[in-house]
Amino acid sequence: MSANNPIPGIDAGDDNRGAPVIVIGGGVTGLSTAFWLAEAGVDVLVLERGITGWEASGRNGGGCSHHHSPLFAEEQRLWPMMDELLGYPTEFRPNRIRIALSPEQFALYGRAVANARKQGFRADDLDAQTVRELVPLAGDNVHAGHYYHFGGHANPHRTVQAYAWALRDRGGRLRQHVTVTGFRRQGDRVTAVETDKGVFGCDHLVIAAGPQTGRLAAMLQVDIPMRAARAEMIVTEPLPLMPLGGIDGNGLYGRQTLRGNLAYGGGPHEWVETEEQPGGPRPSTPLAGSIARRVAELLPKAAHARVIRSWAGIIENTPDGRPVIDRPAPWQNLTVATLSGVGFGLSPASGRALMQLVMRGHCDFADLSSLRLARFDRLEPDWDALQGWLPAAMASA
């Protein structure tokens, strides 16, 4: 069956033309998947409820160093070539210095180093003096640091749009302001996607809808345990560029942007009710003050820099905080992806893995067994309450 053949009840207008592969979600995961599919010559359509990258994909720290993930090696291989591959700038910059202000922080940050070294990546220990030489805004409070010769950071906005533009350049389509509301199926196949703008036929469906992935999959009787949380970041006015922008530590993630702003996050998150549809308020809170305090500790010579904005994003989380990238039974033509809070940096690799899952049923460059849905087969039904992951209102009810 081809999606371009009319399906009963489907509006055959050109705008509402289905596609061999439909991807739900115009965040980094969905767009990277669609990009890789288009690159492989597949006719792909992305359906997005709002605008490109409006959710977590446009609100994150831009970090690309996921040493714990089976996709780490591919993440590291791909980032340096993404600008060229996509044809648009992502502002990717390699490497990172992680600053520890105490021996405890140094020990904690050493674990990432151990993981990376084990996979053949280089990291150097830095003494306080060297940190200060490499990081002009650092101060006398430095204990020590690590120099990662891997990882790095990119600009989330530019990256997510680069995927979208690269997709378009390869003939793929992205429809914005289209909300998926349901599915049509025939036996063990999903045949079409129902939306507020009509029905779109598909041969294969990818659900990459961030926090809504679980809710959408549940409509197909696939249970992906998930909970959503809000996290916040702040950004300062631009400061003179440091030699390396990838500077973090002291309990913060973030970077100096190529424009010079300091953009950092960290600290407590809040468990929230998963929205029926995304697009509600994304309030930030006075936690900005706690983040500001720690940025000023991390980079004391920037203490005068003015905070000009804060923001918040809603993060998709599975019970163990690890992605689900899988083709769930019993469906013959369904792929699901939720990245569980590490999706930005992994996106070049997750998209490529998902492309392979769609086209061949397996990934040939990474062992994705730890990302299978089946790992939750024995999960306690009240896992979220047991982990304290219920929103405040529900917890007290």
Ligand X SMILES: Cc1cc2nc3c(=O)[nH]c(=O)nc-3n(C[C@H](O)[C@H](O)[C@H](O)COP(=O)(O)OP(=O)(O)OC[C@H]3O[C@@H](n4cnc5c(N)ncnc54)[C@H](O)[C@@H]3O)c2cc1C
Residues 166-225 that bind ligand X (CB under 6 A): 179-180, 208-212, 216
Q: Which is nearer to ligand X, 129 or 221 (CB)?
A: 221
Span between the terminal Cα atoms of the chain, in Å: 49
Q: How far is the CB of 128 from ligand X (least distance, A)?
A: 26
Is residue 139 a contact point for ligand X (CB under 6 A)?
Answer: no
367 makes contact, choosing from other proteins, ligand X, none, with CB < 5 to 8 Å by partner type, with other proteins
Which residues in the 341-360 window bind ligand X by CB under 6 A?
Answer: 341-346
Q: Are 371 and 55 in contact (CB under 8 A)?
A: no
Which of 124-155 are b and which e, b meaning 16 or more Cβ less than 10 Å from the residue's Cβ? eebebebbbebbebbbeebbbbbbbebbbbbb
61 binds ligand X (CB under 6 A): yes
Which sign does the torsion angle of CA 105, 106, 112, 115 carry?
A: negative
- Contact track, ligand X, 285-324, x by CB under 6 A: ----------------------------x-x---------
What x-and-dash track marks residues 2-31 binding ligand X by CB under 6 A? Answer: ----------------------xxxxxxx-
Which residues, in sequence order, are bridge partners of residue 262? 256
Cα-based angle 155, 274, 33 (whole degrees, multiple of 5): 45
Minimum CB distance to ligand X, residue 208 (Å): 5
Asked if residue 146 lies in contact with residue 98, where contact means CB atoms within 8 angstroms, the answer is: yes
Nearer residue to ligand X within complex by CB, 72 or 106:
72
Residue 210: contacted member of other proteins, ligand X, none (CB under 5 to 8 Å, by partner type): ligand X
In the complex, what is the shortest distance from the CB of residue 278 to other proteins, in angstroms, rounded to a whole number?
A: 10
Contacts of 225 (CB under 8 A, 6+ apart): 214, 318, 319, 376, 379, 383, 384
CA within 13 Å, CB half, 374: 8
> Which residues in this chain contact ligand X in the complex, by CB under 6 A?
24-30, 47-50, 54-57, 59-63, 179-180, 208-212, 216, 231, 233, 253, 265, 277-278, 313, 315, 339, 341-346
